[in-house]
Amino acid sequence: MITIYQANSSIDAKLIQDQLAFADIQSHIMGDLLQGGVGDLQPQGLVKVMIDEANFAKAKEVIIEWEKSFQENKKSLHSWANPLILR
């Protein structure tokens, strides 16, 4: 098992795990339960998505494509925002 993605939160890790599952790549989230035990400070680098090494190339493609679509959706959300609501 190798780390394919280091997430900021367990939610991010779950999103990546779901995308990998859609591509028929089995993955495991490690460290997601450690977040609650740290306290008020936001820990970084605790949550990781792990896969079999044989699936690395395909998983990397899935993650890159997901990150691209995420950025595009984020941009379209901002361009759609109603200026009357922002005042």
pLDDT score recorded for residue 64: 92
Structure confidence by residue, pLDDT tens digits, 27-85 = 999 987 666 655 655 666 678 999 999 999 999 999 999 888 877 766 655 555 545 44
Question: Which domain covers residue 11, as residue numbers?
Answer: 2-80
State how many domains the chain has: 1
pTM (2 decimals)? 0.71
CATH number at residue 67: 3.30.70
Domain assignment present for residue 85? The answer is no
Domain assignment present for residue 28? The answer is yes
Domain assignment present for residue 87? The answer is no
Burial of 33 (0-12, 13-18, 19+ CB in 10 A): exposed
Domain assignment present for residue 39? The answer is yes
Average predicted confidence (pLDDT) for the chain: 79
pLDDT score recorded for residue 59: 94
